[in-house]
Amino acid sequence: MSTLQRQLLLRVADQGVFRPIWTERIGEEWRRNAARLWQIPPEKLAAQWHAMNQRFPDAMEADTGPYEVGLRYSDPKDFHVIAAGLARRARCGLQRPPAVQVATWNLKDFNRSELRRQGLDVYSPDQLLAGWWQAESSLLEVAVQAVAADSVALGHAPEPLSATLQRERLYRLERLLTETPSIVVLL
């Protein structure tokens, strides 16, 4: 997930639309991949990881190993991600367990049937953001509008928000932002 998408999702979480969860292993993978893909210095990524944990102190999930037992159809390298969601749901209690959704671009690595049997689901960031926009656009509007400034801060040339969202593969969200409301004549 790119820096722009991560920043957008965290701003949406600030609005209370969802509660993020992660593990130290997820953080290690994110820092390793971000350093490799975008040549971000490891110390900068460590500082960002620390800031994320300060910003969302309840996001860290530990002791997820027991929840990997019994998983078999998803990519074994991603069992720990599923286990994080299962551990959080279990910690929340049985009264009203929250909906747990995995946000990833690697949808093929997660077997939907297996996740549904566990009470989880998987979506791309674009699917999640578009769904949240349709449910409560007012909560997302400020977060989404800040993406253009984030892009410039990361060194991109100023461009229309729709172009940035397209570059970030947030096609559904971009379409929802640019849709013109229908005009209906009432008789």
The ranges assigned to domains in the chain are 3-178
Give 150-159 pLDDT, tens digit per residue. Answer: 999 999 999 9
Residues 6+ apart with CB under 8 A from 187: none
> Are the C-beta atoms of residues 58 and 97 closer than 8 Å to each other?
no
Q: How many C-beta atoms surround the C-beta of residue 57 within 10 A? A: 7
Burial class (CB in 10 A: 0-12, 13-18, 19+), 65: exposed
- Distance (Å, whole) CA 170 – CA 173: 5
Give 70-124 pLDDT, tens digit per residue. Answer: 999 999 999 999 999 999 988 887 666 678 999 999 999 999 999 999 989 999 9
Give 5-41 pLDDT, tens digit per residue. Answer: 999 999 999 999 999 999 999 999 999 999 999 899 9
pTM recorded for the entire structure: 0.90
